[in-house]
Structure 1
Amino acid sequence: MTRTEQVISPQVHIHGEVAQEAAAYAVAKLEAALHHAPGPVLRSSLTLDSAAPGDRVDAHVDVNGTGLHVHAMGETLQEATDLMQERLRSRLRRIRRRPQQGPPAPQ
């Protein structure tokens, strides 16, 4: 298993009333998932939205030129965050298994 040690802090965007603990939890979950990225994480952002019907979490990540976007909705921000992390890890595993689907390797 590949473990990337250098993960940049994500930009965090908040809509609605989001507790600081919920935002910190979401950042920690995103960073934990990104430690398993198959390449360098060039950029990441996280959007927490409690103003939408249901709580929503979106993550946008650039892994060595491959853009990923995952979102999840839940009854709470914690539930949505856990679903987002699960989906992001799944997408990262898919990139690792099928590197030919990403951008061409630098020459």
Structure 2
Amino acid sequence: MSLPRVHYRVVGQDDYVLEITLEPTGAYRVDCGDHTSHKPRQGALDERQTREIAALIAALGEPREHPAPAGATGFIAELTLGAPEDTRVYRVWEGELAEEPDVMALIRALEVI
């Protein structure tokens, strides 16, 4: 089973950044950093994880943005799917992530790999 290329990035406060890249082969890399250093983690999805993530991608609605309200602080998540010639981008303020349940389900599945 092949997946689209998936890139998830969330930027928060105090130099916090989480980046997860998932290749069509199932190979992944997780980079997490804040005021302390964390070594990147790499690996490959197993068959169950691949099926789960493929199903969550298939259930996504149209690409969209859910920006932070004026004056809000916090984390902005960006989820990019596909190759440059056919890219879908979802940008969501994490304070409203519950309003985007399809995006939230995929993000949560990526965060636990």
Query: Normalising by structure 2, what TM-score?
Result: 0.30
* Structure number having the greater helix percentage: 1
TM-score (norm 1): 0.32
